A and B are shown apart, each in its own frame.
Chain A
Amino acid sequence: MSTGYEKQPTAFYALIAALVVMSVGPVLLMFINSFKLDVDIISGTSGLIFLPTIQNYETALCDVLWYKPDHVDHCSLKFGNAFINSLIIALVSTVLTLVIGCMAAYALVRFRFMGRDTVSLSTLMVRMVPPAVLLVPVFGLWNNEFCIGKTTYVGALIRETFGGRGDVCLAGTHSGIILVYVAMNLPFVIWILQSFILQVPRSLEEAARVDGAGPFQVFFKVVLPLIKPGLAAAAIFTFRIAWNEYLLASALSDRNTKTVPILIVNNMSEFNVEWGVIMATGMLLAIPPIIFTLFASRQIITGMTAGAVKG
């Protein structure tokens, strides 16, 4: 592989440089601005000559910092709390989607009681549904139908332990948001994992079975380790959606379960935008996906091509 790189004309490298600047530029701009004071951003002492400051990050994270920054009088932005909510929701929904999706994909491939056509059709169908379409029904159901009455035993128990009034409903809880995300991501995950499980040789499983392993053992000890690349790709895609999603989270969350995207949108829509702070929060939200991209771009590309080309 190391041999045979062709020499290209200079214009070609110029084009590549331009493309790189275009795709990374905006992100870099945000990164730089998040270290500037608002005065510097607005006055336009442009370029790289400025005194970097972490004030914006201090303002954003004021509710989880162990010290009180001088420039913050009142900690209005509960970013730390939202960050923790986002983490909980994204991580739990990723793990759940992977476990459940993995089992379903395995069953579909190995026991083939449903055609591949059915799966790919349903994957496509679900991929088609925009989150905005789910907004109305999910809002109605999670608030009114998926509830435990406060007079029932479980409901009363929850109300006694956690406080609050009214019936215990899915809306406003982490689990409510997680449930939607798992359902939204499952078809895609099943689809990707299916193509990986197809490549696991059947003889391996049969050997394990002859040695006395039950179906569950075969699945967890033989199949799972072999499809790690597929799992990685699926995990990144699920995490990305759960981490970035705004609309459904905003409909389902309450004051305490807000996620980071909601916080950013709420602070954007105010008339006078504090650019520095908002860019710092944006940067914090963008960091996990950026890290994934830098370290697992191969898996991402595999997942993307598998999900699209074979779909």
Chain B
Amino acid sequence: MRRAVANRLTPYMFMAPAVVIMVIALLYPLGYMVWGSFRDWDPSQTIGEAEFVGLKNYVTLWHDPNFRESLGVTLSFAFFVVTFEMFIGVGLALLLDRNIRGMSVLRTLFILPMMIAPVVVGLMWRYMYHPTVGTFNRVFEAIGLPKVDWLGTNALMSVIIADIWQWTPFIFILSLAALQSLPRSALEAARIDGATGWQQIIHIKLPLMMPVLIVTGLLRLIDAFKVLEVILVMTEGGPGLSTEILALRISRTATEFRELGVAAAMSNYLLILLLFFTVSMFAFTRWQEMRANRLRTAVEEDE
């Protein structure tokens, strides 16, 4: 009898630590933030002392041109980064999906940029972009091209290039994995029917990879909103606000301007935006699974 009770309790005991930690350090803080976003909150105050101001923080932000610019920078950063990375990553995967020696070594080298700390990535690129000392301008000078003001007038582009360097391998690895798990029979059939390489790619490989590609792209999109350290080290959001993405603005509002309430409201805007992407991604995978199931049952009924 006691043993049965113990057995029934086991799963809860196994789950308990994880649940407790997530509630204390994740759910409670998020709720706390929502609560704090309705307050005029200074870092020296506890949240109870802060004055309740209703939706004021949200309204102020909505009309704040700096916030809007920052939102625009974030969106265009995410858009360009994901687009370029998808094209380059998938393209490379299609190109390198061959039976060659040393593929595992190649993959190892390619994932290196992702594993290194974002702070260090920012450091490397800040050095390479340096107007006089930097690698790029030195090379340009040596081959007679004009110098480029990388982190000045072209800051956003430079930041995007650094991110493409770091995260294209992610797309590459995932789409390579998807490519290699495609049903060989479909490709064989196409080859026998005389499809050219391009035809195979456009009519067979890409459509079959599409579900994985969309999920990968959405994951990358969600992660693109988290990029902070690379940009912080490279430009600190400048010059002006040209590279100040929302994550950076939140941290500056909280630590420099000392307006925790506004920062919390900004965090909520960002969360809502991300929630939209995440939910659409989840809905998409569910829809995919349902469609696959329906197709399978249809095929089985035919037989």
Contact = CB atoms under 8 A, between A and B. Distances in A.
Contact of A244 (B100, B117, B215, B247): B117
B133 A41 contact: yes
B254 A103 contact: no
Interface string B84-100: 00000000100110111
A23 B25 CA distance: 36
Interface stretch (A60-68, A75-83, A105-113, A152-160): A105-113
Question: Which of A29, A46, A135 has most chain B Cβ within 10 Å?
Answer: A135
Given A297-B108, A301-B173, A103 B18 contact: yes
B36 A289 contact: no
B146 interface: no
B143 interface: no
A225 interface: no
Given A19-B110, A183-B26, A243-B117, A279 B123 contact: yes
B120 A264 contact: yes
Contacts, number: 278
Interface in B245-259: 246-248, 250-251, 254-255
A240 interface: yes
A141 B236 CA distance: 27
Interface residues of B, number: 96
A183 B21 contact: yes
Interface in A116-165: 120-121, 124-141, 143-145
Contacts of B79: none
A8 B103 CA distance: 13
A4 B99 CA distance: 8
B133 A275 contact: yes
A268 B110 CA distance: 27
B109 interface: yes
Question: Which of A8, A33, A130, A187 has most chain B Cβ within 10 Å?
Answer: A130
B99 A128 contact: no
Interface stretch (A48-56, A199-207, A302-310): A302-310
A137 B219 contact: no
B43 interface: yes
Interface in A200-253: 215, 219, 240, 243-244, 246-247, 251
Contacts of A183: 21-22, 24-26
A286 B275 CA distance: 32
Contacts of B125: 26
B52 interface: no
The 4 A-B residue pairs whose C-beta atoms are closest, nearest first, are: A183-B25, A132-B247, A107-B14, A137-B29
Interface of A: 4-6, 8, 12, 15-16, 19-20, 22-24, 26-27, 29-30, 33, 41-42, 44, 46, 100-101, 103-104, 106-108, 110-111, 113, 120-121, 124-141, 143-145, 179-180, 182-184, 186-187, 190, 215, 219, 240, 243-244, 246-247, 251, 261, 264-265, 268-269, 275, 278-279, 282, 285-286, 289-290, 292-294, 297-298, 300-301, 304-305, 308-309, 311
23 contacts: A6-B99, A8-B100, A15-B95, A104-B14, A106-B14, A107-B14, A130-B226, A131-B247, A132-B246, A132-B247, A134-B29, A136-B264, A140-B46, A187-B22, A244-B229, A246-B118, A247-B228, A251-B255, A261-B119, A265-B229, A293-B108, A294-B108, A309-B212
